């Protein structure tokens, strides 16, 4: 058990230093004003020690988040709740921001709540594949220093 823990921690540090990229993610909602197909898994997440980057393939929109801007990470239904809270409190509320947030399932959702450069609260809800969600969470936790909250 201790060996597994050490390997997980060292792989998180390794990925955090050199960067990791995942391109089979779906943007399921949040405060980013981008129009995506709800069935499209072409959102790209790149995580380095200096920056978290989200690229939305069809709209050519790119979001840059510094790790110290992240206020919380969450997984599962907790991710839905946290991102929905930020969207509900955002000044500009559009139906586009709400799509996907009311969906309840056993999919692997990752929520990232952060502050923009101008200090406004923002959030993204990403649906990951069952084969990569755990590694994504570990790398995000390693880079941001934040725990990933999960509801029971």
Give the pLDDT confidence score for residue 151 in this predicted structure.
58
DSSP codes joined into one string, 15-56: HHHH-EEEEEEEEEEES------TT---EEEEE-SS-EEEEE
Q: Could you tell me the sign of the dihedral formed by the alpha carbons of 41, 151, 7, 113, in that order?
A: positive
- H or E element, residue 65: strand 61-65
Give the pLDDT confidence score for residue 24 in this predicted structure.
87
Tokens of 125: 């809800």
15-38 pLDDT tens trace:
445 689 999 899 998 999 888 887
Give the pLDDT confidence score for residue 37 in this predicted structure.
82
Give the pLDDT confidence score for residue 3 in this predicted structure.
46
Give the pLDDT confidence score for residue 117 in this predicted structure.
93
Domains and CATH numbers, the chain: 2-147 (2.30.29.30)
Does residue 137 contact residue 73 with C-beta atoms inside 8 Å? yes
Does residue 128 contact residue 108 with C-beta atoms inside 8 Å? yes
Does residue 29 contact residue 112 with C-beta atoms inside 8 Å? no
Tokens of 130: 């069952």
Residues of the chain with pLDDT under 50: 1-8, 10-16, 91, 93, 96-101, 152
What percentage of residues in the chain have a pLDDT greater than 90? Answer: 48
């Amino acid at each position: 058990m201790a060996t597994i823990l050490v390997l997980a921690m060292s792989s998180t540090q390794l990925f955090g230093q050199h960067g990791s990229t995942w391109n089979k993610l779906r943007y399921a909602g949040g405060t980013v004003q981008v129009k995506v197909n709800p069935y499209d898994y072409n959102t790209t997440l790149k995580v380095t020690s200096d920056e978290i980057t989200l690229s939305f393939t069809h709209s050519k929109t790119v979001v840059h988040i510094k790790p110290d801007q992240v206020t919380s990470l969450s997984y599962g239904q907790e991710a839905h709740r946290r991102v929905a809270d930020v969207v509900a409190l955002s000044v500009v509320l559009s139906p586009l921001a709400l799509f996907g947030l009311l969906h309840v399932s056993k999919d692997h959702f990752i929520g990232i709540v952060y502050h923009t450069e101008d200090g406004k609260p923002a959030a993204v809800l990403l649906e990951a594949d069952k084969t990569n969600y755990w590694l994504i969470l570990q790398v995000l936790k390693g880079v941001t220093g934040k725990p990933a909250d999960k509801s029971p």
